[in-house]
Amino acid sequence: MTGFDTTLSNLGIARSGAAATPTVSAAASTSLGQADFLKLMTAQLQNQDPFAPVDNTQMVAQMAQFSSLSGISEMNTTLKTIADKLTGTSANDAMAFVGKTVLTAGDTAYARTSGGIAGAIELDDDATDVTVTIQDAGGATLRTLKLGAHPAGTATFDWDGIADSGDAAGTGPFKVVASASAAGKSVGNRTLVWAPVQSVSMPSSGAPVLNVAGIGAVPLSTIRQIG
C-alpha cells in the first residue's frame, strides 16, 4: 500500500484499483477538515511521479479554494457571535423600559397620578378639523376635545381628567376615539396614548416585546416616545 493509500485508509476511505470510486466507512467522518486536507496534500507530494509531478497551478487553486472555505466558516462563526451579542444588548435595552411610560399606538389608557391622560393623533394628511373623544369603559362620552386644524403628522392632546359634567372621571380605563377631516372628507389617523410598561416578554426567537398597561404586547419598533 502506498503512502497515499495509507493516508486514505487512516481517514476511513478505502479504494480498490486506480479507477475505483472512494467510499467512506460508516464509522468515518463524512467531511474533511483542514488537517485531513494537509495530510492528503502531503501524501500526494510524497508519492508523485518524479517524471510527471503534480501541476503547481492546480495545487495552488485547490489550496486557495480550501482557504476560502475555511475563511467563510470562520466568518460565519464570527457573525453568529456578533448576532448573539446584539440580541443580548436588545434584551437588556428592553428591560430598561419596565416602569417607564411610553407613547405608542393604542386607544386605551389609565389616568396619571395627577389625573387625566395624554396622547396624540397621527394624521396621514392635513386636517382642518381634529376631534378627540374620551369615553369610559362602557362607551359613554366623558369629554370631547376640539384640536382644530393640524398639518399631516402628530397632533398632541392632554385631558385633565374632568368630564363635561364637571366631575372627576376617575382612574379609567378610558377609551380614546379620534376623528379628522378636511374639505368634508375623512383623514386617515391613528390614536397614540401614554401608558406604563409593566413587563418585558422574551420570545424564543425575534425581538423582545413590551407588555403595556391597557394595550398589551407592544413591539419595541412601535414605541414613538419614552416618558
**Segment 16-73, tens digit of pLDDT:** 444 444 454 545 555 656 667 677 767 776 776 676 666 666 666 666 666 666 667 6
Whether residues 106 and 176 share a domain: the answer is yes
Whether residues 27 and 78 share a domain: the answer is yes
pLDDT of residue 203: 72
pLDDT of residue 68: 67
Domain tally, the chain: 2
Whether residues 136 and 205 share a domain: the answer is yes
Residue range 163-182: mean pLDDT, rounded:
90
Under 8 Å between Cβ of 176 and 134? yes
pLDDT of residue 210: 83
How many Cα atoms within 13 Å fall on the side-chain side of residue 72? 6
Whether residues 121 and 194 share a domain: the answer is yes
Of 34, 66, 93, the position where a domain reaches its end is 93
The CATH number linked to 145 is 2.60.40.4070
Of 77, 93, 109, the position where a domain reaches its end is 93
**Helix, strand, or coil here: 225?**
strand
Q: What share of the chain is helix, strand, coil (3-state, %, to 5)?
A: 30, 35, 35
pLDDT of residue 42: 74
Whether residues 106 and 142 share a domain: the answer is yes
Residue 210 is part of which domain span?
A: 101-226
133: number of Cβ within 10 Å: 14
Whether residues 73 and 144 share a domain: the answer is no
48-52, 137-141, 170-174: least confidently modelled range = 48-52
Whether residues 46 and 147 share a domain: the answer is no
Whether residues 196 and 109 share a domain: the answer is yes
Of 61, 76, 93, the position where a domain reaches its end is 93
Residue given cell 380614546 in the structure block: 176
Among residues 34, 120, 28, the alpha carbon closest in space to that of 74 is found at 34
pLDDT in tens, 58-111: 666 666 666 666 667 677 777 766 655 554 546 667 777 787 888 888 888 888
Whether residues 75 and 172 share a domain: the answer is no
Instruction: Please classify residue 117 by burial: count the beta carbons closer than 10 Å to its beta carbon, then call 0-12 exposed, 13-18 middle and 19+ buried.
Output: buried
Give dist(CA 103, CA 99) in Å, integer: 13
Whether residues 78 and 155 share a domain: the answer is no
Whether residues 10 and 85 share a domain: the answer is yes
Q: What percent of the chain has pLDDT over 90?
A: 25
Whether residues 107 and 207 share a domain: the answer is yes
Rounded to an integer, what is the distance from CA 170 to the centroid of its chain? 38
pLDDT in tens, 212-222: 887 888 887 78
Among residues 96, 100, 95, 110, the alpha carbon closest in space to that of 193 is found at 110
pLDDT of residue 22: 47
- Residue 35 cell numbers, joined: 488537517
Q: When comparing pLDDT for 55 and 112, which is higher?
A: 112
